[in-house]
Amino acid sequence: MRSQGQVRFIKISSRVQIAAAAITLGLLMGWAISMGAMAWTQYRAQADRMSLLEREAKVATATERVDAYRDDIDAVAQDLIKRQEFLEQMTEALPADVKATGTVTDSTSETTATIEQVSASIPEASALARIEARQLAYVERLTRYADVRSKRAESAIRKLGLDPRTMLRNAERAAMGGPLEILATSSNGEIDPRFERLGLSLARMSALERGLEGIPQVSPTSAPMVSSSYGYRRDPFTGRGAMHSGLDFRGPTGSPIYAAAQGTVTFVGRKAGYGKVVEVSHGNGLMTRYAHMSKFHSRVGQKVASGDRIGAIGSTGRSTGPHLHFEVRINDRAVNPRPFLETAPDVLKEVRRVPELAQR
């Protein structure tokens, strides 16, 4: 190092060099392992989907079902009862006006052939064959419906600048549990792949639509004026340029502050510069922050819905007057809240509109 005409030398020992190299190598190996694990997870998920599609394409033929009816009509009846119970449970979790269309498997020709052969070979079992045909048609219509809803939700999520794949990955990692209840839909104890496909389609639809509900979509206050926007501005205290990471809504002290989306309150208290703050986690890395409050109307761990009151406007912290400072953060990185508040209501209204989907 040369300084004021003098030259100084800094010596780095071999031990320090080896330690630095080891740390760098460890970081590179950690990165490589994490990327490999992600790639393996995606490969397995794709392989499982392909396996299900292959099995779905190889469902029992009409001749095999005739043999099953002939061997044990009582067992077939029990299978149909289990299927019916399963369908009733599924129906309770779906909108009342469920209709469906799409490009899922169509078992119409298969079930028609089954009914004809069963009626000819075992007349007393023809009614059961018709019930089974109706159930399979119903399962396929529900699957089409769920797939259509999933596609609409994915499109809406992308319009809002988010990645639906992240929501699906988070749903797969979510904690879950409960008693083991095996659904046997055939006499040999195996699950009909059409029923399994229905379960996966409904789970995908549910994960995406839950993610949509956690997207900021309601104005956090009734105050119409945004006194300061997101981005660089002149700092009101120093007069110098500074980054403003949210939107400011000017309003009277005590005016209500609302949750912008459903979620869980994760922080209630004071933060430097923000004053009194409430933070709400919406899942998928999304969090909203409400600052400069005068009062709290929420507590940590509380579940809130869009529009629930969580506090009141004030001027606590680094503030020049009563207003709400509102932030949207993704993985703790501030993003502009305006596109969510302006775009989300219309996008979500379209998604929530139940389409008039024709039955096939």
pLDDT in tens, 76-127: 777 777 777 776 666 665 554 444 444 566 676 777 777 777 677 777 777 7
Residue 306 gets which letter from DSSP? Answer: T
For residue 94 the two structure tokens come to 């779906």
* Residue 68, CB-side half-sphere exposure with 13 Å CA sphere: 22
Provide the pLDDT for residue 30: 77
pLDDT in tens, 316-359: 998 888 999 999 998 889 988 888 888 877 777 766 665 444 33
Provide the pLDDT for residue 46: 67
Which residue's entry shows tokens 């009563």? 322
Mean pLDDT, the chain, whole residue set: 77
Provide the pLDDT for residue 160: 79
Kindly tell me the number of DSSP H helices and DSSP E strands found in the chain.
Answer: 8, 14
pLDDT in tens, 249-301: 999 999 999 999 999 999 999 998 899 999 999 988 899 999 999 999 999 99
Provide the pLDDT for residue 80: 73
Confidence band, pLDDT 50/70/90 cuts, at residue 186: low
Residues of the chain with CATH 2.70.70.10: 226-336
Which residue's entry shows tokens 């809240």? 337
Q: Higher confidence at residue 71 or residue 120?
A: 120
* Residue 65, CB-side half-sphere exposure with 13 Å CA sphere: 26
Residue 188, pLDDT > 60, answer no
Handedness of CA 309, 311, 314, 315 (dihedral sign): negative
CA angle 76, 80, 84 (to 5 degrees): 170
Q: Mean pLDDT: which of 34-38, 220-224, 244-248, 302-306 is highest?
A: 302-306
Question: 87's torsion region: left (phi>0), alpha (psi -120 to 50) or beta?
Answer: alpha
Handedness of CA 142, 148, 150, 156 (dihedral sign): negative
Confidence band, pLDDT 50/70/90 cuts, at residue 70: low
How many angstroms separate the CA atoms of 277 and 290, rounded?
Answer: 6
205 DSSP β-pair partners: none
Pairing of strands 286-296, 309-313: antiparallel
Q: pLDDT exceeding 70 applies to what percent of the chain?
A: 71
Quick count: other Cβ atoms within 10 Å of Cβ 356? 8
Confidence band, pLDDT 50/70/90 cuts, at residue 44: confident
- Lowest-confidence pick of 29-43, 102-116, 133-147, 220-234: 102-116
**Is the separation of the CB atoms in 337 and 327 below 8 Å?**
yes
Q: What pTM was computed for the model?
A: 0.61
Residue 358 gets which letter from DSSP? Answer: P
Average pLDDT over residues 201-211: 85
Contacts with 137 (C-beta within 8 Å, 6 or more apart), sequence order: 107, 108, 111
Provide the pLDDT for residue 42: 67
Picking from 298, 295, 255, the residue whose alpha carbon sits closest to that of residue 279 is 298
How many angstroms separate the CA atoms of 170 and 207, rounded?
Answer: 9
Provide the pLDDT for residue 264: 95
Residue 360, pLDDT > 50, answer no
CA angle 36, 39, 43 (to 5 degrees): 135
How many angstroms separate the CA atoms of 170 and 248, rounded?
Answer: 31
Provide the pLDDT for residue 21: 80
CATH fold of 226-336: Glucose Permease (Domain IIA) (2.70.70)
Confidence band, pLDDT 50/70/90 cuts, at residue 60: low
How many angstroms separate the CA atoms of 229 and 288, rounded?
Answer: 16
Provide the pLDDT for residue 179: 47
231 DSSP β-pair partners: 244
